[in-house]
Each structure stands twice: as structure tokens, then as C-alpha cells.
Amino acid sequence: MAMFTNVIVRRPSKSLVDGITSAPELGKPDYELALKQHDDYIAALKECGVEVTVLPALEEFPDSCFVEDTAVITRKGAIIDNPGAGTRNGEAKAMEPTIREFFDDDRIAYIEAPGTLEGGDVMMVGDHFFVGRSARTNEEGIRQFIEILEGWGLTGSEVPLEYVLHLKTGVNYIEDNNMLVSGEFIEKSDFAEYNKIVIPEDEAYAANCIWVNGTVIVPEGYPTVLEKIQEAGYKTITVDTSEYRKLDGGLSCLSLRF
């Protein structure tokens, strides 16, 4: 399995409090607490042995700390996304100069309108990429994405979504043939060949964990999920992401890992 050496994150902006949410009942994020949680997230990543590039906040884009939706980075190159949420279209363009610090022009590709694609809908399993067809990622975006992958000798497949915002809201690969699954993904035939660690409904948010070089970073406050991952043999680190949950954001959303 490939090990990660680099991670890109972006500091949350004060405008974070006006970010997109499907759960207004959770309240607006506390900006100061969100900053502290971001510090803890960066510290956890560094503990996993990666170099972390920390980009400055973009006040004009309230959701810009969720850098995962701006690009998909593969072992062959980077694909600059075209986010399906209109207010986020400028975020991918803002990420491009940083991507260019790591990849030459011939290793950068683009999702072009009318195609839309957000990285939260893309799950890497070795050299195969599952892509969720969602409200944010459309058929044309997936077609372009798979065409780019195949040009690089990689593969991709579409996974229709029924209820969740993004694919990785409910399913995440943690290497070693193990997959965290919740809700609609528990019975999906797309993932039949993997060992499924089933997430209980009352801890569904914690399906969004990230594997970084043998360690699984788990959101704080979900004891059943933490125990299941530890029982599967993984070292774990917990990080509180309560303020990002208020904006439909989880652990994977906050970084680009490659």
C-alpha cells in the first residue's frame, strides 16, 4: 500500500459561520473552537509522519477549509475539481497554485463544466476510485474523471447515492481490505468484496475516518466506532470535529492526502 508523505490543509476563515449546512439545528460553528480543532487536526496528521502544507484562510469562501472537494490527488497526478456547490467554484482555482508546487503540467487535469465533481465523492482503493453520483457530482463529471483516470492507467466506477451528501459521508476505506460502512452503504454490492466494519446508526458521523500511514484518525466522541477500529488492529488518534460537523464536514473533508 502507498504511504502518504504530504498533506494540504487550509485554515478556517471567520466566514466559516456562514458555510453551507444541511443541519442548521446544530447551530453555527464557534470560530475560535474551530481554530483549536484545526490545530489539533494538523498535530494528529504530523504525528502520522507527513509534511503538512498549511494554506491561509480565504474569507470570501466560507467552506474553503474543506479542501478535499477542490482536487483529487492520485499517484499518477492531480485532478482539479469543479465543485457542484456554486458558492464553492472559486475554491478549486485558489488551490491550483499549491497543486502546481507538487505536480508538473502534464500531471494535472481538470473537470470542466458542465461536469461537476467534488473530492468528497471520491474514495481511493489502491488504483481504483469509487465515485459517488450525488447532488454535487454529476454524470458528466464522473465521465470526465474516469476518462482521466484511464489515461493514467487507473480505474474508476460510479456509485449512485440515495441519502448522503457525499460518498465518504457514509463509507471510507482504511486499507488492508477494511471499509467503514454506514446506512445505505452496508448492503451496496459495489463493496461486497471488502471486510465491512459496520457503523451503528447513532454514530454514523464517525464513518468518516481517515487512514494515514497505518494510523486511523477518528472523530472524538464515538466510542463504538473507536473500539471497532482498534479491535481491527489499528493505532488510533481521536480529534474533535464538532464545529465542522455543523457544516456537514468531517475528517476527510479537511485535507488533501498524497
Report how far residue 234's alpha carbon sits from residue 237's, in angstroms, rounded to the nearest whole number. 10
| Residue 206 DSSP code | G
Report how far residue 197's alpha carbon sits from residue 185's, in angstroms, rounded to the nearest whole number. 11
| Residue 75 DSSP code | S
Note whether 62 and 98 are within 8 A (CB): no
Neighbour tally for 3: CB within 10 Å: 10
Q: Find cell 473552537 and name the residue.
A: 33
Active site amino acids: 166, 253
Q: Is the dihedral of CA 91, 94, 100, 104 positive or negative?
A: positive
C-alpha cell at 83: 465543485
